[in-house]
Chain A
């Protein structure tokens, strides 16, 4: 239970504003670092990896909302899922932009060759392509226009995006696979939990269930 004085902050507008600002913190940190210490010897790589890391982290946080809601018993969390998902798309967009502008400086021929020939770039671009229609249909109006069933089917692509995102990271590593492995384990838990609930619901059809 929240302390009575605190409950005010858990109310939708304030809580949402707080989460909104929190999600901008990595970008603010990046800007701060750029203005103070700089991005080091290979700034294009630094910025690109930083943005990619956060795109993947937000994707995993978005995927963690439902399990946390059900395991922790915090139904209020559902409110933040769309915003977090959109932030994943936001950081992924910046990640792709930095790849085009900073890494390759608009060298379209090289970029195209990369996308076709380099498996981890191909996978990364597929993930970005998956996130696009999800971001485009994130409004309440789009839910109505598509109908909840079709909308939900479309947004189940997030599981594929999560798997692709972790693969994308794994595939670019030279020797130190510890960090992508950590992400893979977290993702396995988040997806495994959903499979587990489905299986249990299937074997106990009497019990009510909520969530996907």
Chain B
């Protein structure tokens, strides 16, 4: 057995600050400092951890009418996602979408159009000029982001298929790959995810067929390689990873409306006066704002009222939510 003999110069055990106390004090000081910093600084510190960036998109033209708000940090917009195909928590999509294969990709175009068929992703996009558009993005869960998307006007692409007079609506479908999308192995929503728009909504110049964000090709967790962005509607209308576009005569069914018709209507326009039955839509939490900060009042049609209000003239938006 080893016995250490005390020398006079050695500090007595009682003089030494216990390690736990020492470290605890450091933690406390750090906590106080950080809490103070936290209260005042815009919160991007939590996003400091680096996220692997994608490949930049060449030849993108800046759209002149972009939103003037500061875009949400890339690390936030790509790690806080509702993409139930990859899991039901916000952190799941970034974690579970690593092995998703977004290329090669084809889209089936069906229904009331002259040029139906299967199109390669590249062929869909190639004839168009890619634009970077900063849009406000409002989730039905009362949080919002500001995202620089890259895409082409949806209407410009749809016109190429030459929809007929019978095409009153356009339906979209997300890819069904339960082997790559763990959320699709659970019957909590009806898979595959489907969405739809009235033809005039789809043709509206704000509707964006999106292939990228922050100057790069879409990350898997944000709906690679091809999604729709409809800035005046709640986020779930902006369907991701599209494999099918169909022109229909009747209003197409939509996933969330099938799941809970009372809560999610076909239109789902951002509307601060029509609450979700379970929460208010009057205000929103801006992602990236300081921890202690008020929520922002939500604007009619997410601030795009001037652009889109005419689409819904004469409609009772409380009934047709």
Interface of A toward B, CB cutoff 8 Å? 31, 34-35, 37-45, 101-105, 107, 110, 113-114, 117-120, 171-172, 174-178
Knowing A38-B48, A107-B294, the reply to whether A172 touches B278 (Cβ < 8 A) is yes
Interface of B toward A, CB cutoff 8 Å? 27, 30-31, 34, 38, 43, 45-49, 76-77, 79-80, 84, 88, 90-91, 141, 143, 188-189, 259-260, 275, 278-280, 282-283, 285, 287-288, 291-295
Contacts of B294 in A (CB 8 A): 105, 107
Interface of B is mostly: loop
**24 pairs, A vs B, C-beta closer than 8 Å:** A35-B27, A35-B31, A35-B34, A37-B49, A38-B43, A38-B46, A39-B46, A40-B80, A41-B76, A41-B90, A42-B287, A45-B143, A45-B285, A102-B291, A102-B292, A103-B285, A104-B295, A105-B292, A105-B295, A110-B282, A114-B279, A118-B279, A171-B278, A176-B188
CA distance A212 to B293 in the complex (A): 46
Knowing A41-B76, A43-B46, the reply to whether A113 touches B280 (Cβ < 8 A) is yes
Knowing A41-B288, A118-B278, A175-B259, the reply to whether A31 touches B46 (Cβ < 8 A) is no
* Cβ-neighbour of A110 out of B48, B260, B283, B292 (below 8 A): B283
Knowing A40-B79, A42-B80, the reply to whether A175 touches B46 (Cβ < 8 A) is no
Q: Are A38 and B45 in contact (CB under 8 A)?
A: yes
Q: State how many angstroms separate the Cβ of B80 from the closest Cβ of chain A.
A: 3
Contacts of A31 in B (CB 8 A): 31
CA distance A178 to B30 in the complex (A): 38
CA distance A76 to B259 in the complex (A): 48
Contacts of A119 in B (CB 8 A): 278
CA distance A43 to B31 in the complex (A): 16
Knowing A101-B292, A107-B294, A175-B188, the reply to whether A42 touches B143 (Cβ < 8 A) is yes
CA distance A40 to B288 in the complex (A): 9
Q: Are A38 and B27 in contact (CB under 8 A)?
A: no
Q: State how many angstroms separate the Cβ of B38 from the closest Cβ of chain A.
A: 8
Nearest chain-A residue to B27 (Cβ)? Answer: A35
Contacts of A43 in B (CB 8 A): 43, 46, 291
Q: Are B30 and A175 in contact (CB under 8 A)?
A: no
Q: Are B291 and A42 in contact (CB under 8 A)?
A: no
Contacts of B76 in A (CB 8 A): 41
15 additional contacts (CB under 8 A) given A35-B31, A40-B80: A34-B34, A38-B43, A39-B46, A39-B291, A40-B79, A41-B288, A42-B143, A43-B43, A44-B285, A102-B291, A118-B279, A119-B278, A172-B278, A175-B88, A175-B189
CA distance A212 to B76 in the complex (A): 50
Contacts of A40 in B (CB 8 A): 46, 79-80, 90-91
Q: State how many angstroms separate the Cβ of A53 from the closest Cβ of chain B.
A: 13
Q: State how many angstroms separate the Cβ of A21 from the closest Cβ of chain B.
A: 12
Q: State how many angstroms separate the Cβ of B143 from the closest Cβ of chain A.
A: 6
Contacts of A37 in B (CB 8 A): 46, 49
Contacts of A35 in B (CB 8 A): 27, 30-31, 34
The 8 A-B residue pairs with the shortest CB-CB distance, nearest first, are: A38-B46, A41-B80, A176-B88, A41-B76, A105-B294, A175-B188, A41-B287, A43-B291
* Cβ-neighbour of A114 out of B77, B91, B280, B293 (below 8 A): B280
Contacts of B288 in A (CB 8 A): 41
CA distance A110 to B80 in the complex (A): 25
Knowing A37-B49, A38-B45, A39-B46, the reply to whether A120 touches B79 (Cβ < 8 A) is no
CA distance A34 to B285 in the complex (A): 19
Contacts of A177 in B (CB 8 A): 188
Q: Are A117 and B30 in contact (CB under 8 A)?
A: no
Q: State how many angstroms separate the Cβ of B192 from the closest Cβ of chain A.
A: 15
Contacts of A102 in B (CB 8 A): 291-292
Query: Which of A37, A110, A176 has its CB near the most chain B CB atoms (within 10 A)?
Result: A176
Q: Are B188 and A120 in contact (CB under 8 A)?
A: no
Q: State how many angstroms separate the Cβ of A34 from the closest Cβ of chain B.
A: 8
Contacts of A44 in B (CB 8 A): 285, 291
CA distance A35 to B143 in the complex (A): 24
Contacts of A118 in B (CB 8 A): 278-280
CA distance A127 to B295 in the complex (A): 26
Contacts of B46 in A (CB 8 A): 37-41, 43
Contacts of B285 in A (CB 8 A): 42, 44-45, 103
Q: State how many angstroms separate the Cβ of B158 from the closest Cβ of chain A.
A: 30
Nearest chain-B residue to A43 (Cβ)? Answer: B291
Contacts of A113 in B (CB 8 A): 280
Nearest chain-B residue to A101 (Cβ)? Answer: B292
CA distance A43 to B80 in the complex (A): 11
Query: Which of A38, A104, A110 has its CB near the most chain B CB atoms (within 10 A)?
Result: A38
Q: State how many angstroms separate the Cβ of B242 from the closest Cβ of chain A.
A: 21
